[in-house]
Amino acid sequence: MTITSPQLGSPSAWTDARLLHALEEVVETELNRHLKVAKDWMPHEYVPWTDGRNFPGLFEDGEAWQKEQSKVTEIGRIALVVNLLTEDNLPSYHHEIASLFGRDGAWGTWVHRWTAEEGRHGIVMRDYLLASRAVDPDKLEQFRMSHMSEGFESDNRHSMLHSIAYVAFQELATRISHRNTGHQSGDPVCDRMLARIATDENLHMVFYRNLLKAAFELAPDLTMQAVRDVVVNFRMPGHSIPGFERAAAQMAIGEVYNLRIHHDDVLQPVLRFLKVLEIDGLGPEGLKAQEELGLFLGGLDTEASKFDEKLAARKARMAARAGA
């Protein structure tokens, strides 16, 4: 990575355009690394097609959907719908990052490659859900139309650094959500499918995490502020899904994704890898952001511990009722 102007180190000099240019070499390196380790896979190979049968409609022999037709657990069903509807907004996500990162050079190649890989996730999840009759197909389509008709605007679209910081955490959050959904689904076929998706999401996280590391080396103060802002205000991309708050609460209780998981399995691994709280030599604004980030994480850990206690008490009550 070559910086030709000594003035580029000053915070006021770092525009999005200059950062895009300065990070192009890193993007190319990370893209080449990604292409070497990423493995192509066929969505149709993860779908239990022999379980499928006609739904009512054009087919006179169609069989109406009933919850009992699927082996997927209730929490698995809820999380699968949230995860799929999140993936469904891929056109909006592509538009956001293509507008921010551009469509040329290494940046553009990554944008299109990422979009192609993410496209598999929606394909295989929907095919699985319909073939296995895990969800009501009519309601699923109604949810999809409602969610996509709302469109999507990232909370971080104003800043390239904020966007990189966000996806570094969000890709890991998505991986964890998919993986835990598989574990809680009650269906080994679903578990294998979501494990395959989670592998992709982890590679995407590594790409953005390494890019964020390079950004810290270039513009540590601005990057620290971006990380602080993203961590403090983090929201999953599917937050506008109809009924998301209720579904998120059920997923928290079902241990698919909750405060403890968010703190321990999403925020901490990225922050530890980057040694964000150990970076020194920051200016006043960077140091302030670092301190605020540390305070926030401490508060989040406390809130997560309170949630852990409530969840443990709930489990104890349920166990007592079952044994009564």
Biggest CA–CA distance in the chain, Å, is 74
> Around 111, how many Cα atoms within 13 Å sit in the side-chain half-sphere?
20
Q: In sequence order, which residues have a C-beta less than 8 Å from that of residue 27 and are 6 or more positions away? A: 105, 106, 107, 110, 211
63 labelled ligand-binding: no
CB 260 within 8 A of CB 308: yes
CB 1 within 8 A of CB 181: no
CB 215 within 8 A of CB 164: yes
Short-list 86, 37, 64, 36, CA closest to 133:
64
Place of tokens 């998120």: 248
45 labelled ligand-binding: no
28 labelled ligand-binding: no
CB 180 within 8 A of CB 256: yes
201 labelled ligand-binding: yes
CA distances from 32 to 35, 37, 106, 207, 214 (A): 5, 9, 9, 10, 16
Binding residues for Fe cation: 87, 118, 121, 171, 201, 204
